């Protein structure tokens, strides 16, 4: 939970914040180039831009080797969870104040970071993370990300601070303070990807911090727009992690036992409907069952559980 009187600072002691911008990438060199290019145009430049390359094989390594202004960590493919786990470790070990995380399909507007930092909520001791508003290529916004709290928590902040209190968000463009990472631990690399971002940011909120979506910090999420629940285009690996991690996320929530049980049963029911209409595979039931026994542990700096 937030230590009394902690200076989330945007930089602490009145100094400018040292912000580590981190992009996790795997075999998407063209998107990565655009994302890096957008970081180079920021009106408030991060102190360091870190690229965690999950062993790309599409020329990414050669291109990164020519970028003198980037810090690069190449590791075995450990998914987004393993990539952001490594970025969080780098933030803590190198003493940065904030970690600004994004996928390689995130294209921030030039003032995105400046808006995150200047938001009044960012400097409050109880703030654990601030998140940009993501926009799809067609100009629409997601209907399920971030997860806002009730209007009683944000009705006034919308007008005064241009932000909305949220209880979770994705890794599309989220900035987390170093003291919070030390307090709650790193993203859980065992999740690999899918739901790892929601679990990490929910864990921050569960620890007593607050999260905010800063409405005038805007990023383009250059991805296919999810139109429905049809998963036929998903790879087996994607469906496996989405199913397993989704059940784990619901099972470990703070909701009542009855509510959690109902939601998990509903997940099995929805999957049955998908299988019947040919939109999923029967293997999905096995992946959902895995989520009932999946128990990763968040590691904290120094190896503390």
Rounded Cα gap, residues 48 and 90, in angstroms: 11
At 134 the pLDDT is 92
The number of angstroms, rounded, from the C-alpha of 40 to the middle of its chain's C-alpha atoms is 21
**Model pLDDT, residue 6:** 36
Closest by CA position to 104, among listed 41, 195, 25: 25
Distance CA 283, CA 238 (A): 12
DSSP for 179-209, written as a single string:
HHHHHH----GGG-SSSHHHHHHHHHHHTT-
Topology of 19-221 in CATH?
Spore Coat Polysaccharide Biosynthesis Protein SpsA; Chain A (3.90.550)
Which residue ranges in the chain fall short of pLDDT 50?
1-9, 228-229
Structure tokens, 127: 């703030």
Provide the residue ranges of all domains of the chain, joining segments of one domain with +: 19-221, 236-290
**What pLDDT was estimated at residue 154?**
61
């Amino acid at each position: 939970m937030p230590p009394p009187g902690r200076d989330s600072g945007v930089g602490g002691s009145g100094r400018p914040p040292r912000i580590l911008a981190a992009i996790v990438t795997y075999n998407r060199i063209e998107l990565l180039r655009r994302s890096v290019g957008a970081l180079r145009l920021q009106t408030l430049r991060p102190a360091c831009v870190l690229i965690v390359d999950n062993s790309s094989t599409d020329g990414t390594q050669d291109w990164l080797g020519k970028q003198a202004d980037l810090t690069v960590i190449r590791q075995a493919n450990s998914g987004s969870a393993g990539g952001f786990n490594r970025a969080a470790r780098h933030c803590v070990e190198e003493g940065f104040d904030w970690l600004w995380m994004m996928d390689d399909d995130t294209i921030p507007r030039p003032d995105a970071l400046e808006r995150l930092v200047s938001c009044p909520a960012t400097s409050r001791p109880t703030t654990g993370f601030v998140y940009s508003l993501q926009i799809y290529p067609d100009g629409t916004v997601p209907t399920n990300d971030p997860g806002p709290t009730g209007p009683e928590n944000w009705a006034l902040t919308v007008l005064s601070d241009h932000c909305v209190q949220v209880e979770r968000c994705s890794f599309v463009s989220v900035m987390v303070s170093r003291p919070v990472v030390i307090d709650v631990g790193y993203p859980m690399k065992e999740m690999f990807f899918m739901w790892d971002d929601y679990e990490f940011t929910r864990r921050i909120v569960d620890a007593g911090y607050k999260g905010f979506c800063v409405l005038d910090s805007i990023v383009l999420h250059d991805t296919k727009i999810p139109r429905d629940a049809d998963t036929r285009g998903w790879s087996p690996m994607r469906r496996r992690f989405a199913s397993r991690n989704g059940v784990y996320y619901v099972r470990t929530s703070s909701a009542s036992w009855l509510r959690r049980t109902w939601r998990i049963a509903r997940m099995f029911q929805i999957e049955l409907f998908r299988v019947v209409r040919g939109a999923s595979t029967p293997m999905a039931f096995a992946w959902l069952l895995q989520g009932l026994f999946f128990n990763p542990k968040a590691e904290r700096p120094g190896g503390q559980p």
